[in-house]
Amino acid sequence: MVGDNVRYSDKVYLLTKLLDENPDGLNHQASYQSQLVPANVQQVNLTFAPNGTVYNATVIRVYGRYHADAIGFDGEYVEGDNDTVHEIQKVSQHDKQTAFYIIHNEVILHGE
């Protein structure tokens, strides 16, 4: 992993949902177990739909194979505050890397 400190210079919390004891309770919100890992975080525009729709997205790449239900950004994530939790829309695994995709909104192109 020499040299990967430069490629993975950000940090994110990989969040895994915990078993829910009372999913029908009033004021229910999911609980997560967190793991802080080095990451490469990029804002991109992606064509993410079969119809060619372009979305503003964040791609989070981590070294190794990981599973997560959501992402928390270092400096923003607060344990127990689900407003700081970002749901993952897509996961792809490559050789020694996992990429998590978070979609923010549709990009409106000029002339549409």
Residues 19-54 pLDDT 10s: 877 666 666 678 999 999 999 999 999 886 678 888
What is d(CA 59, CA 62) in angstroms, rounded to the nearest whole number? 10
**Among 103, 87, 109, 94, CA closest to 44:** 103
Residues 50-84 have pLDDT tens digits of 788 888 999 999 999 999 999 999 999 999 999 99
Q: Are 9 and 1 in contact (CB under 8 A)?
A: no
pTM of the model: 0.82
* Residue 111 confidence (pLDDT): 52
